[in-house]
Amino acid sequence: MGKKGIETLVGVFVLMGMLGLVFLATKAANLGSIGGGDTYTLKASFDNIGGLKVRAPVRTAGVTVGRVTHIDLDSKTYQGVVEMQIQRSYQYPKDTAAKILTAGLLGDQYVGLEPGGDDKNLEADDTVAQTQSAVVLENLIGQFLTEKAVGPADAGAAVPK
């Protein structure tokens, strides 16, 4: 193999390495598609969306069924309005609940959809009525510390034996 052949192989190897890095970067940044195909839009309003971001997954039973496409603030209710694109192959009952959940203890947040039992399904541009806001870790720690500082109401009372 001549010098030109070795240079060509090195170039191909470097190109494959760059393509691999681009692939890993898109997977790590959650920029991959949700499987393609036809989708429909659902909306949900939350008192607190925590650290939810656009392109966050929408999951049911751990399976990604869509993505968050837009987050806005309702100027009348001051709630966060989350718009989601759901794959058309997944249809949800009207009484479906939406929750903002966290992957692991300090992981990324995502929207979890829990299907209800209604006979009628949500349609495009419908709003999920039942929602549960994100649990903010700082608020939980603050509540715990406040509770420990104040102590129980009957701390001075004698404990019966």
With beta carbons less than 8 A apart as the criterion, state whether 109 and 77 touch: no
Q: Which two tokens stand for residue 27?
A: 């997977």
Q: What's the pLDDT at 154?
A: 53
pLDDT band at 146 (very low <50, low <70, confident <90, very high): confident
In a 10 Å sphere around its CB, with 0-12 CB exposed, 13-18 middle and 19+ buried, how is residue 6 labelled? exposed
Average pLDDT along the chain:
86
Q: What's the pLDDT at 110?
A: 94
Angle in degrees, CA 30, 125, 131, rounded to 5: 70
- At 108-138, the pLDDT tens digits run 899 999 999 999 999 999 999 999 988 777 7
Q: Which two tokens stand for residue 31?
A: 């920029």
CB atoms within 10 A of CB 104: 6
Average pLDDT of 16-41?
77
With beta carbons less than 8 A apart as the criterion, state whether 141 and 115 touch: no
pLDDT band at 23 (very low <50, low <70, confident <90, very high): confident
- Identify the three-state secondary structure at position 50: coil
Stated pTM of the model: 0.68
- At 61-100, the pLDDT tens digits run 999 999 999 999 999 999 999 999 999 999 999 999 999 9
With beta carbons less than 8 A apart as the criterion, state whether 73 and 45 touch: no
Q: What's the pLDDT at 153?
A: 57
